[in-house]
Structure 1
Amino acid sequence: MLKIFKKYYGYQWLGAIICGLLLPFIGRLLGMSGLHKVIWFYLVINGLYTLYLGYSIRRRGLSPFIMLALPVIFSGISTLALHLVSRQYGFYFGLMYIVLSLFTFFGDTRDDPDENQIPVENGFRDLNSNV
């Protein structure tokens, strides 16, 4: 079961559901002010998760389409369907989450395993060939 969970990006989907659905729902249950929800839940927690998600996807070689899970759940379900988040915040934060995950996805690649390989775009120059 754990192998299937990992194969179908279970941890990433679980994190997206927690950040996209559960946090806005908890904020409404606790009666938090809009300012505190925006700062702590939508900016800090979800922002840090999307930064980690972009790095994790690049590091593990996962499909980049999983970066769309949190923005779709947050903007689509929490904003449009359940009205947990106001529309003026929902779509803009969804775009911000995509941009943040792309920053770390395309960011510093010095620790990638293929960084020290020999580039072969123009072929090997030191090899002698009789062709």
Structure 2
Amino acid sequence: MLKIFKKYYGYQWLAAFMLGLVLPFIGKLLSVSGLHKVIWFYLIINGLYTLYLGYSVRKRGLSPLILFALPAVFSGISTLLLHLVSHQYGFYFGLMYIVLSLFTFFGDTRDDPDENQIPVENGFRDLKSETKNDGQVSVDGNLKV
């Protein structure tokens, strides 16, 4: 079951539903003021998660479509269907979450595993061999000495 959960991005979907649906519901249930919901829930918590999600998707090689999970849940379900989030904020924060996750997805790639590989377009010219006369194989298979 855990393998299927990981295969179909279960953690990302669970976090998207928790942050996009449960967090606005808790804010409405506890009667948190609109300013505090906007600053703490929508900007800081969800913003930090989308930054992490963009980095995590790039680092682990996940499908980039999962970047749209939180904005879809937040803007679609919480704003349109359940009216937990004001229409003034819902769509703009959804766009902001997409932009933040794309910043870290396309951002700094110095730590990617393919950055430090040796290019092989012209062969390995800087590698030295132990023997002076190396046998070279031509394209047609004849051995040259």
TM-score of the pair, normalised by structure 1: 0.92
- Name the amino acid aligned to 1:124: N
Q: CA deviation at 1:119?
A: 3.6
SS in 1 for 2:114: coil
Between Structure 1 and Structure 2, the one with more helix by share is 1
In the TM superposition, structure 1's runs of 4+ consecutive aligned residues that sit over 2 Å from their partners are 125-131
Cα RMSD, aligned residues only = 1.6
| 1:124 equivalent in structure 2 | 122
Residue identity (%): 80
User: 1:55 corresponds to which residue?
Assistant: 55
2:114 corresponding residue in structure 1: 114
- In the alignment, the residues of structure 1 paired with residue 88 and residue 17 of structure 2 have an alpha-carbon distance, to the nearest angstrom, of 21
Q: Which residue of 2 aligns with 1:23?
A: 23
Corresponding residue for 1:88?
A: 88
CA-CA distance at 1:124 after TM superposition: 1.4
Corresponding residue for residue 76 of structure 2 = 76
Matches within 5 A, 1:26-45: 26-45=26-45
What per-residue deviation string (whole Å, max 9, x for no partner) do you get for residues 6-54 of structure 1? 0000000001000100000000000001000000000000000000000
Question: Which consecutive residues of structure 2, in runs of 5 or more, have no partner in the other structure?
Answer: 126-135, 140-145
Which residue identity does 2:95 align to in structure 1? L
* Matched residue SS, 2:42: helix
Larger C-alpha radius of gyration, 1 or 2?
2
Give the Cα separation in 1 of the matches to 2:107 and 2:72.
Answer: 23
What's 1:2 paired with? 2
Residue 125 (structure 1) shift? 5.9
What displacement does 1:118 show? 2.8
Q: Which has the higher contact order (CA 8 A, sep 6+)?
A: 1
SS at match of 1:74: helix
1:37-93 per-residue CA deviation (whole Å, 9 max, x = no partner) reads 000000000000000000000000000000000000000000000000011100000
CA distance in 2: counterparts of 1:125 and 1:5, whole angstroms: 43
Separation in structure 2 between the aligned mates of residue 22 and residue 52 of structure 1, nearest angstrom: 19
Q: Give the structure-2-normalised TM-score.
A: 0.84
